[in-house]
Amino acid sequence: MILVAAEILVKEGTQEQFIEIAEKCIAETRKEIGCITYDLLKDTFNQCKFMFFEEWETKEHLDAHMKTAHFEAFAGSIPNLLDEELKVCIYKAEKDN
C-alpha cells in the first residue's frame, strides 16, 4: 500500500476557492481503481493549511492518478492560490494481518 501526505498552505482569503476546486478532484479520484482513501483535512489551528491524506493499493495506481484529467485540472488550477510550494511525502506501508 502507498500512503501520501500532501501539505498545502493557501493564501489568506482563498480557502473556500481552494476547497471548491479540491472537492471536484476528490469526487472523481475516489472513483479510481486502486484508490483506498482520498481525504482533504483542514488544520485546526491554521485556517490556510490543508493536507491531502491518500491511500493507494500500489504506486502504479498513484502514478495513473497523477495523469488523470481531473488531477491535472486540479494541479493547474491551484498555483495562484498557494502561499508556498506543496510538501508531499510518499510512504510504502505493509498491513499487519
The chain-wide mean pLDDT, for the chain, equals 96
Res. 97 pLDDT band, cuts 50 70 90: low
> DSSP secondary-structure letter at 11?
P
Give the whole-angstrom CA distance, residue 46 versus residue 54: 21
Structure confidence at residue 35 (pLDDT): 98
Report the run of H or E that residue 63 belongs to, with start and end.
helix 59-65
Q: Is residue 38 within 8 Å of 52, Cβ to Cβ?
A: yes
Structure confidence at residue 52 (pLDDT): 97
Res. 17 pLDDT band, cuts 50 70 90: very high
Residues 49-87 have pLDDT tens digits of: 999 999 999 999 999 999 999 999 999 999 999 999 999
Structure confidence at residue 96 (pLDDT): 72
Name the CATH architecture for the domain at 8-92: 2-Layer Sandwich (3.30)
Residue 30 has pLDDT above 70, yes or no: yes
